[in-house]
Amino acid sequence: MSPAKVNPCLEGLTVDCFEHDPRWAKQAFAYRLLHTITPKKLTRRLPKGLRLALLAPGIVVPPGIELPPGTTIPPGATIPPTWTPGDPTPSGSQPPPTTPPGTETGGIVPPIGVAPWEPGPISQPGKQPAPSVQYWFYEPFDDLTTNSWSDISHSGGSAAIAAAQLKLKSTLGGAYSAAQRTHATAFPTNWTLEFSLNYHSGTGKQQIELYTGTYRARIFFTPPTTVDILPVSGSCQATVANYLNQVNTWKLVVTGGTATLYQNNTPVITACSLFLYSFSAGRIEIEADDAHEAYIDYMTIVED
């Protein structure tokens, strides 16, 4: 009786591996290609599936083990319970691909099949390149200090960077956490604020407050299903899809003194009148109070 054939994917992304498990092999190839041609400063901000290890179905990772981002673990591989980063990679696995020189801080890699000294694609008549969006403000939250944010937390609350996201945490007893940024320029008349929010846990209140120099724009969250613009007398309130412990994209579109709020591109509050409030032009404050933990990322303000 002939011995059972070893899974060919344990030998790498070979022709036999593509024949044996084409779906996983294609995913692993695309995953490694993206890690190879994309600068590190960008891959860490792409969806977590790209940053973390790509595990084949059925792979069990022992408790406490963290694989280097970009590692691929093929079908049939085993991870010893004593394995730690820095040890030889588990049988059949591939370590993170090496980033080509010049891309570590955002360089450009030529397309596959094009040598660095060859000219790039030539424009064709009638096909104009799409204009790039110029963000008036963009905040990756890499560092509260260098990006002009100040932590104004107190009573046990905290604001910190976690995986390039702004993490706000409040504890019991009226704790408060906030990050504040003051910009030297007033907001344009028409603008769009967009950000992702993972209201991870708790029942406390979360708010994002902006002072434009003419108006005060304030988004106020009370989980799991309530959101307001300016939660005071005359506010615009909506009951929305549950956002507790989920990642949602929120967008506030402002035209003069009127605002529309979107949850995952669905309008939930329309034609809300903002309050006149000529104070601290360009100031932005993100705050959390009561028992509550939230993560905010990808904040942009675009002039329309």
- For CATH 2.60.120.560, list the domain ranges present in the chain: 135-303
**Spatial distance between the Cα atoms of 188 and 256, rounded to a whole number of angstroms:** 9
**Spatial distance between the Cα atoms of 252 and 14, rounded to a whole number of angstroms:** 49
pLDDT of residue 98: 63
Using one digit for the tens of pLDDT, what is the confidence trace for 132-180? 455 567 666 777 777 678 888 888 888 988 877 899 998 876 788 999 8
CATH class of 135-303: mainly beta
pLDDT value at 259 more than 90: yes
Q: β-strands 190-202, 275-276: how paired? A: unpaired
Residue carrying structure tokens 């060919």: 8
Best CA proximity match to 216, nearest among 274, 136, 284, 273: 274
Work out the mean pLDDT of the chain and round it to a whole number. Answer: 76
Q: β-strands 236-239, 226-229: how paired? A: antiparallel
Using one digit for the tens of pLDDT, what is the confidence trace for 45-74? 555 555 567 777 777 777 666 677 677 888
pLDDT value at 304 more than 90: no
Residue carrying structure tokens 């434009």: 212
pLDDT of residue 209: 92
> What pLDDT band is residue 116 in, cutting at 50, 70 and 90?
very low
